[in-house]
Amino acid sequence: MTKFRLAEMTFREFAARIPENPVLLLPLGSQEEQGPTAPMGDFMLTDALALQVAERVGAIAAPTLPFGYGDYFRPVPGGIQLRAETFCAVLRDFADNFLDHGLTRLVILNGHSGNAPMIDRVTRGIRMQRGVVVPSINLWRLHTPQVWTEAYGLPAGKGFGHGSEPLGSVYTHLFPELMRPDLREAPGNGKTFMGFETSGMGAVKFRGIEIAMPLDVTDITSNGIAGGDPTLASPEAGRHLAEHIVSTAAEFIRAFRDAEMPPPSRPLREKI
Q: What is the pLDDT of residues 190-237, one digit of tens each?
A: 899 999 999 988 999 999 999 999 999 999 999 999 888 999 999 999
The verdict on residue 18 lying in a domain is: yes
The verdict on residue 98 lying in a domain is: yes
This prediction's pTM: 0.94
Beta partners for 24?
60, 106
On the question of pLDDT at 271 being above 80, the answer is: no
CATH code of the domain in which 98 resides: 3.40.50.10310
The verdict on residue 155 lying in a domain is: no
Q: Are 171 and 38 in contact (CB under 8 A)?
A: yes
Strands, DSSP E only, in the chain?
24-28, 60-61, 68-69, 81-82, 106-110, 136-138, 192-193, 196-199, 203-206, 209-212
Length of the chain in terms of residues written: 272
The verdict on residue 193 lying in a domain is: no
The verdict on residue 222 lying in a domain is: no
Euclidean distance between CA atoms 219 and 216, whole angstroms? 5
Q: What is the pLDDT of residues 140-198, one digit of tens each?
A: 999 999 999 999 999 988 999 999 999 999 999 999 999 999 999 999 888 999 999 99
Shortest CA distance to 246 belongs to which of 2, 57, 3?
57
The verdict on residue 67 lying in a domain is: yes
Q: Report the interhelical angle of 145-152 vs 235-258 (nearest 10°).
A: 150
Specify the pLDDT at position 265: 76
**Lowest-confidence pick of 26-30, 113-117, 184-188, 207-211:** 184-188
Give the total number of structural domains in the chain: 1
pLDDT band at 272 (very low <50, low <70, confident <90, very high): low
The verdict on residue 197 lying in a domain is: no
What is the percentage of the chain residues whose pLDDT exceeds 70?
Answer: 99
Euclidean distance between CA atoms 172 and 182, whole angstroms? 13
Q: What is the mean pLDDT of residues 96-125?
A: 97
- Structural domain harbouring 35: 6-142+242-258
Euclidean distance between CA atoms 164 and 34, whole angstroms? 8
Q: What is the pLDDT of residues 231-256, one digit of tens each?
A: 999 999 999 999 999 999 999 999 99
The verdict on residue 169 lying in a domain is: no
